Structure formats: structure tokens, C-alpha cells
Structure 1
Amino acid sequence: MRESLDTDDRLSSAEVKQALEAMSPADWRRVMLFARQAFSGIGSASHEDLLQEACAKLLGGERVWHRGYAAVPAIASVLDSMASNARKREANGPINGDTVVASRDVMDESEVLVAYVEPVDTLTPEIAASDAEQVARLEELLADDMEAALVAWEWAAGRRGQEAAEALRMDMHQYEAARKRLTRKLEMMEDERRKG
């Protein structure tokens, strides 16, 4: 497991700033696409604001940018984590967005909408640590394969096949090649997990 406080393994704020400034317009389009896809159907914040927040978290040191990781996967990882946290808050929070609530004047005085709501959080420290280790290992394996990393993000967003290829603006041959490389790396992780 990586030591999260090891400063030799993380970029400093100045290095993060330099890496962000060095990103090409194509890189910014990719991370904007990640932000849009990762947060589709979650909350009301714009994907531009969420991308800004992810960059601020990296600059401020709240999120770690590990040395050796390219800008797009580093930012996409933060966006994915933010989206995952937002989904968990929506799923486990006290408010159900799908519940239809009648206006007060239509309800009978004796009816009570909510007597008591207690949020349920099924995430344990062990699960969080295991998930973080697996994500870090996958990022490590995909650091040199941007196309496979993009396919992984699409899968995480629930898109596969033609839908994922179209979202990534890849032809199916390019998508299939990246998918096969990703699958091999996932199988390698599974073998490591079984042996470890």
C-alpha cells in the first residue's frame, strides 16, 4: 500500500500548477469530457465547476497527484472519486430525489411526510482502503496507456461497446484494442489479488 504522506511520491503545488499549465487544449477537452460523463445525472453543478474544483483540490494538496502520472489520468482520477462520493451521498443521504411529495394543502393534516430519517453508510474503512489500493494499482498499470485508461473511465460510467467508443470518439477497432489491453491489466490485477 502506498504511504499517502510520502511527499517524494507526490507532486508539490508548484509542480501541479506547472503540469496543469502545460496541458494541451486536447487534454483539457478530455478532462472536460470526463467531468461531463462522471457527473452525468448527479447534482446540479456544472461540469466546468466540478473540473475547477478537482484542479483546486490537486493544487491545494487535498488530493494527491502521484509523481509519474500524466495530467489527464491524474485529473480524471480525482473527478471519478468526486463523482463516486457524490453518488454515495445521493444514495445514502436522507433525501430521495425520486420521491414525489404532494403540496401541503393537498395532504390531510394527520399525515406526516417524514417522521425520522437516518442516513445509512455501508462504506467501512477496510472497504475504502481496499478500493483505494485497487484504484491506485489500476492507475499505475494504465499510466502509459491513455486509450485503455479512457475505456476504464467509460466502463466506470456504465458505458460499454459502441456507446463507449462513440463517447470517446474512437472507431471500434481502436476501442476493441484498448478494451483488450484493459482486460489483460484487470486480469493481472485479479491474479495479484488472489496471490496476495
Structure 2
Amino acid sequence: MKKQIITSVLSVSMLLSVFAPAAFASEASIAKNLQQQSQESRILEIGKDAFSRSVLEAAPVMDKYIIIGEESFSLDPVAKSIVSPEVYNQYVIGVERMNEALQDGYLSIQNGQIRIVPPSEFQTNAFSNVYWWGVAVTYSDSETKSWVYALNQGAGLSGFLASMASLIPGGQIVSFWSAVAGFGALWFANELSYKNDGKGVTFNFHWLPAPYFVITSNS
């Protein structure tokens, strides 16, 4: 069954060790440097370590085993024989978070299709008390091409949502989904194709200090 994301427009402390500043350094420059260092340290990188990469790579396969019911999502136990126990358990977490999103009203199921319901108003300080300020999700060339196919065909999106829900902490996943879906499937597929130079792409999504979303080519 085809699954399509339909959505409206995007509505979307760690204290570093402080070295003694030189006498001539201004307070403004020190604050700026600390902010930059803090931001860089708070970006969650997904897809570069072996485990998260294995979870992302499994998305097209696991999509076939994510069942969209009338009021909930479930994971077919047959998938246990398809992927490793660690990856399977990660998708169990992802599906559970998708069901939580259903209960909270961020996702809905309409005629067997997934609909992301973005928050009516995005608070830029909504996640100010959590460690992570953003995520950088790296996809390989083959994963990027699978994504483009899924977006163009309206299939394979459940696997993507489950993989991301299992890897991105806390409520940030809601904003990430809204950001991805808000641009529209066609725009997103075209952007992925344009930015993929044969080495894949990286999604860069920050919610603090100001929300922004960009796709970059892998070097």
C-alpha cells in the first residue's frame, strides 16, 4: 500500500570548559566563540557510526513490515528474521514513538496513509532545556537514491519515519518530520537528487538557537 506524507506549510546546558581569556579579548568575542563551540558540540550526528548507519540502511526493507492500522502502527514480527536483533529492537522503539505521535496528534492515519500534522506554532525555545541543538543525518548514495524513489512513488516512508523516530531524541523528532514534510515530497525529492553528487547527502536540521533546515552534499 502506498504511503504518503501530506502536510501543510512548515510551522516549525552543556557548559564547555572555559579557558582563561587573554587580557585583550573582549567579552563579546569570548561569548561568540563559546556559542559556536557549544553549538558544534550539541549537534547529534546520525549515520556516521556503524549502528545508526545500519538502522538507516534498513529503512527500505523495514518499511514492508510496518503495518498501518486504522488507529495505530505495528511491526510485523517476521522482520526479526530479516535484520539483526539490535536493528529490529530499534525499529520497535521507532514504531512506539510513531504511535505516541498519533496519540499526541502530531501524526494521523487517513485512508491507510500517514499524515503529519505540524504544530500550529513553532516555539524557538521549545527545546532550550535539552542537550541537543540539532541533528545531522548522513545518507549514502544508495540510501539517498532509495529516498528519492520513495518520495516519488509515495512508498517507503514508514520505514524512514520509524528509523528517524528511533534515533532522534525527545520531542525534536516532531519538528524534524514537520520540516521534511513541510517542503513537499516533490521538492524534497528534487533537492535530494540535485545535492547528491554520488556520495550521498546530509540533512542538517537545527532547532536552536534559530530553526533552519538544509540539505548538503557529502564530501
TM-score between both structures, scaled by the size of structure 1:
0.29
Q: Indicate the structure with greater strand content.
A: 2
Q: If you compute each CA radius of gyration, which structure gives the higher value, 1 or 2?
A: 1
TM-score between both structures, scaled by the size of structure 2:
0.27
